[in-house]
């Protein structure tokens, strides 16, 4: 899949759930209902910074966006692991 193909695929998504499913990222539907807009904004920001060359780079951008929003909700004073973030590698 070329760079333009992956960009067209991403542009065709009508919801964040479609993107998460396409990129095979597990998610909590309650979390998405509450923070989906923030995830979409962060994902789009990552795509603006660096255009994905392939499926793996686009997946990494979405995964990083999901994890960043998840981690931003954690208490900064304690060392908590992500909860509900089924794809987090920072546990």
Query: Domain ranges in the chain?
Result: 3-73
pLDDT band for position 82 (cuts 50, 70, 90): low
Question: If you count them, how many residues does the chain have?
Answer: 91
For residues 12-34, give the mean pLDDT: 92
| pLDDT for 33 beyond 60 | yes
Q: Identify the helix (H) or strand (E) that includes residue 38.
A: helix 29-49
pTM: 0.82
Q: Identify the helix (H) or strand (E) that includes residue 87.
A: none
- Residue 74 tokens read as 């954690």
Q: How many helices and strands (H and E) does the chain possess?
A: 4, 0
Look at 71 and 39; give whichever has higher pLDDT: 39
Using CA atoms, how far apart are residues 56 and 21, in angstroms rounded to an integer?
Answer: 14
Q: How confident is the model at residue 89, as a pLDDT?
A: 56
């Amino acid at each position: 899949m070329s760079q333009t193909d992956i960009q067209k695929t991403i542009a065709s998504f009508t919801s964040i759930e479609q993107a998460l499913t396409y990129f095979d990222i597990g998610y909590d539907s309650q979390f998405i209902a509450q923070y989906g807009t923030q995830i979409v904004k962060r994902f789009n920001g990552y795509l603006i910074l660096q255009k994905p060359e392939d499926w793996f780079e686009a997946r990494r951008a979405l995964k990083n966006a999901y994890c960043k929003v998840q981690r931003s909700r954690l208490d900064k004073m304690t060392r908590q692991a992500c909860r509900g973030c089924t794809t987090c590698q920072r546990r």
